[in-house]
Chain A
């Protein structure tokens, strides 16, 4: 019951938070000194033509009016049009979303598959050479500038040794569009050369993106396992003569997973923020790249669209994580 109340309370704040986000982003995007209308009108447009275009786009109205128009549009699911591609923002976002999802999933997969076992091993073999090495890696993971890591990987693995492609999603045109994720689509359609190319292109960006997340996961898994190992290990060792390794693994793994799952919100934040920079470094045509180029081009609507989209997703994820957290760990049902 208390849980329900808590959930409702948080959910109630969802809408005002989103509204507040929209307002703040709106203010920011409108103070931009550059005038994108002028450049959309074209290199050779006269001031009169520019003014006409501004009126057509509804940008000559007072700001509060523009804000209201925007809200009205949102309710219809209309995020407005990009001043540059002249296509609806919603379309632009949807078009680029699969790329970011593919990258984030790949990074998440790598992080979990490699990170959790490493964290467990590190805890089990505490203070060993491996443990110390891993601790160095985890600290580095959060100290390395991700764009620099990407560039270094590009420098060595792509430029110097030519093992992997430098940037982009795929060489050539994409496989038939089913999910929008090239690796998945090419597998589903049996397009092996496309798969090879897509997978090869995915490796460097996913690795770069995963690195800080990996560091975090190893850390938390290690901490979580250490707590368990130290408290219950002796007890279970004596229990009923079961093979200690099996029981320990099962019990420890579960706790390790729990402590990681509760950090999903955090991980998600790291990965989402990471995509912005990494997509730019690797020319990965996803939402992050879109966000950066929209900002640099002062494309008002696109900036708003991206911010609202990411904000909403983030708020939802945090909400779910908070709820999930209270389920898994009732002790910590604090604020």
Chain B
């Protein structure tokens, strides 16, 4: 608890990280308060074709889309989708990837090598491609997008945890606890994991941003949740045939994505500076 307070205090001192935190807070607020903040909350489902492709105005802050729905309101509700995807996908990747990394890192058997090679296989193909293939195979929908993203992101956690665990093994406190007869599980859970938690936290924040981008890409390619779900990537793809006249239609969702991912990246950077200054040089596993 005290460390948390310490962390927050340090975070507040780094203005850039603070900015990131604020941006993320805005995202959460937008999502939670969407029904209140939206000017046309019904427009998630309602259509008004006669109002289509209107520019930004007093009634429609960010204009209307091809079916006449208010873009501003749809963006707010889209924030919910964004958060949902990011949290569940990264969460699942964490749950899968960290234990695998711990086990592979702690033990030095052929099994560890096997685990790492399996994770290598998943990393061999660009995540986007694998996610596209999975989403297309299973059919475009929200759950399938989340699944596709989880399945392709866990290796990043595994590699990170593996590297950290390996480098920790020569640390005295680990050696001594083993010498004292602590079981492997005890060592892993109570000694390794806490030490590894810092890079994991950093990677989680950055991973959220990365996942949101990949999810938007899937939506852009038509592999995300189908209409009328107000997914940001899909909105951008819908806008293309109406450019350049309806420029707001493409600009608004893109800016939303940018601001949100920027928030996670800034926060992640700030966390990295605080929690793990020795990897300032930039870990090899940037992604």
Contacts and interface: CB of A to CB of B under 8 A. Distances in A.
Q: Do A and B touch (CB < 8 Å)?
A: yes
Interface of A: 13, 16-17, 20-21, 24-25, 28-29, 31-33, 135, 139-140, 142-148, 151-152, 154-155, 159-160, 216, 219-220, 223-224, 227, 259, 262-263, 265-266, 269, 272-273, 276-277, 280, 291-292, 295-296, 298, 303, 306-307, 310-312, 314-315, 334-335
28 contacts: A13-B117, A17-B117, A17-B124, A20-B117, A24-B122, A32-B136, A33-B139, A135-B16, A140-B258, A140-B262, A142-B265, A143-B261, A143-B265, A144-B261, A145-B213, A148-B253, A151-B236, A151-B240, A154-B243, A155-B250, A223-B281, A259-B281, A276-B126, A280-B221, A295-B133, A312-B124, A314-B126, A335-B163
A314 B125 contact: yes
Contacts of B286: 216, 266
A263 B243 CA distance: 37
Contacts of A140: 258, 262
Interface residues of B, number: 54
Contact of B266 (A139, A160, A220): A139
A229 to B, nearest CB: 14
B124 A277 contact: no
Interface string B210-222: 0001001100111
A276 B128 contact: yes
Contacts of A20: 117-118, 121
A142 B261 CA distance: 8
B62 to A, nearest CB: 15
Contacts of B261: 142-145
A244 to B, nearest CB: 25
Interface in B185-213: 209, 213
Contact of B265 (A17, A139, A152, A273): A139
B127 interface: yes
Contacts of A224: 281
Interface of B: 16, 113, 117-118, 120-129, 132-134, 136-137, 139, 162-163, 166-167, 209, 213, 216-217, 220-222, 233, 236, 240, 243-244, 247, 250-251, 253-254, 257-258, 261-262, 265-266, 269, 280-282, 284, 286-287
B191 to A, nearest CB: 19
A303 B126 CA distance: 13
Contacts of A160: 244
B269 A139 contact: yes
B137 A28 contact: yes
Nearest to A142: B265
B200 to A, nearest CB: 17
B196 to A, nearest CB: 14
Contacts of A266: 284, 286-287
B124 A21 contact: yes
Question: A-B pairs with the 9 shortest C-beta distances?
Answer: A273-B126, A148-B254, A311-B124, A159-B244, A143-B262, A143-B261, A20-B121, A314-B124, A335-B166
Nearest to A161: B244
Contacts of B280: 223
A11 B6 CA distance: 46
B162 A335 contact: yes
B220 to A, nearest CB: 5
Contacts of B287: 266, 269
A291 B131 CA distance: 12
B129 A334 contact: no
Contacts of B133: 25, 28-29, 295, 303, 307
In the complex, which of the residues A24, A272, A277, A312 has the most CB atoms of chain B within 10 Å of its own CB atom?
Answer: A277
